[in-house]
Amino acid sequence: MKQLMLVCSGLHALIALLFGGGALLLVAIAARMGWYAAGGELGLAAAQEVIEAIGILAAAVVALQIAETIIEEEVVRDADISAPTRVRRFLSRFFVVVVVALAIEGLVATFRAVHEDAEDLVYVAALVASVGVLLASWGIFVHLNRSAEELEPAAMEQAQAEDHKVQP
């Protein structure tokens, strides 16, 4: 069983490495877009290119955060994600990045729709509303999860005790 767990940790590390590589590639793409936008005529088109680059950087942050979470939770801590504290921490780290990235994407889409095709604003509004629903759902989850944590104080103490593994 220990060998299987070691293989799983190795696979998690590989997946995290691929997420990190994807994040670096997205950063390079965004930097190139920004460079070309800055090198041309500064105007509305350049602004839209920079806003697009920001959207791509937001996706890079999501990929990098997922990589970091996988490394910390599955490789370094080798944590079991069944305890309420672990579930809340894992999902909270993921959702904060996803919500911010989707909100930035909503902003990017808003600028694009306002300047190119106003009919797309309906889809943008749906995206922004979805971000709000996701944020509210996450808040409800955290609130309900906190109640579950109070029923299992030992799991909370164990999760806090493992924090030293990832702190510098």
Q: What are the residue ranges of helices labelled H in the chain? A: 2-39, 44-70, 84-115, 121-151, 153-162
What domain range includes position 64? 2-165
pTM of the model: 0.68
Nearest CA to 126 among 110, 142, 148? 110
Nearest-angstrom CA–CA distance, 128 and 149: 31
Residue 59's pLDDT band (cuts 50, 70, 90): confident
Residue 155's pLDDT band (cuts 50, 70, 90): low
Higher pLDDT, 84 or 12: 12
The pLDDT tens digits of the residues spanning 121-147 come to: 899 999 999 999 999 998 888 888 777
Comparing 37-51, 81-95, 97-111, the range with the smallest average pLDDT is: 81-95
Find the mean pLDDT for residues 11-19.
91
Please say if the pLDDT value at position 164 is more than 80: no
Taking all residues of the chain, what is their mean pLDDT, rounded to a whole number?
81
Integer CA distances (angstroms), 167 to 40, 62, 153, in order: 44, 21, 22
Whether 47 contacts 101, CB under 8 Å: no
Residues of the chain with pLDDT > 90, as a percent, come to 22
Domain count along the chain: 1
Half-sphere exposure of 13 (CA within 13 A, CB side): 10
What the block records as the tokens of 77 is: 């801590």
């672990």: which residue's tokens?
A: 86
Comparing 26-35, 64-73, 127-136, the range with the smallest average pLDDT is: 64-73
